[in-house]
Amino acid sequence: MSDKILIVVHQEHSTPGKVGEFLVRRGYTLERRCPNLGDSLPADLSGYAAAVVFGGPQSANDDHLPGIRAELQWLEKHALPQGCPLLGICLGAQEIARVLGAKVGPHSNGLVEIGYWDVHPTDAEEDFLEQSTTFYQWHSEKFDIPEGAVHLAENGNFEGQAFRYEQAYAIEFHPEMTREMIDKWCTSERGSKKLRLTGAQSHASQLDGYDRNAQASDRWLDEFLDGFLPES
């Protein structure tokens, strides 16, 4: 069994955060690719234990960007057909949804989710989310649930919080966040402007939310990875 995991990021200084930390702790090595900076994606995934596509400031509808277009084609032609365990987070989830034929776009009321928001399990009989949990969010677009996928999590404003399609999982929330990452996102030139949008919590509220909710989010991530990763 391979000990290598492919991670796909969207900016030069992107970090896999706690997802990367938890994977390395389990003995995996991370192979980082950033198509937006010209990196290619492997057509053959047999040498990887899993792949994770992270979030980013782009949209899954940004076909005009070569990097996003390459990711969508890779998901459709290689990652999904080969059945490699695949996790999409936020933008990565939206890309998976779009490739599977679901609509991705802004909320009809212009809402965003930035900060800590409750996520609830659906009635799907799967061991994904045992109880309502407060996760970190940072998104202004949403995805519908693709036909043939299992809807796993939801909330009042954004019904599509998580789904599974065969061995691929798509989650809208961000379990990878550290306190330092939240601070960086909120104080960046691009991020600080988004804090004015409807549905965005203040910088201070987000840091307080981390202190109150990180333990439960970390526990969920640890349990999810146990089931997501192939048995050695």
The tens digit of pLDDT for each residue in 137-179 reads: 999 999 999 999 999 999 988 999 999 999 999 999 999 999 9
Q: For residue 155, which phi and psi values (nearest 5 degrees)?
A: -150, 180
The tens digit of pLDDT for each residue in 69-86 reads: 999 999 999 999 999 999
Tokens 């999590």 sit on residue: 153
Output the pLDDT for position 1: 64
Domains, the chain, ordered by start: 4-228 (3.40.50.880)
Can you read off the two tokens belonging to residue 189? 């030139």
In this predicted structure, the answer to whether residue 232 has a pLDDT above a threshold of 80 is no
In this predicted structure, the answer to whether residue 65 has a pLDDT above a threshold of 90 is yes
Tell me which residue of 25, 16, 23, 22 sits closest to 50, measured CA to CA.
23
The tens digit of pLDDT for each residue in 168-216 reads: 999 999 999 999 999 999 999 999 999 999 999 999 999 999 999 999 9
In this predicted structure, the answer to whether residue 109 has a pLDDT above a threshold of 90 is no
Instruction: State the Rg of the chain over Cα.
Output: 16
Output the pLDDT for position 2: 82
Output the pLDDT for position 231: 74
Output the pLDDT for position 36: 95
Strands of the chain (E only): list them: 4-8, 29-33, 50-53, 86-89, 104-106, 113-121, 133-139, 141-143, 150-154, 162-165, 168-171
Output the pLDDT for position 110: 86
Of the pLDDT bands very low, low, confident and very high (cuts 50, 70, 90), residue 56 is very high
Determine the Cα–Cα distance for residues 134 and 211; give it in Å rounded to an integer.
Answer: 12
Residue range 16-37: average pLDDT? Answer: 97
Output the pLDDT for position 35: 97
The mean pLDDT value of the chain amounts to: 96
Say what the pTM is: 0.96
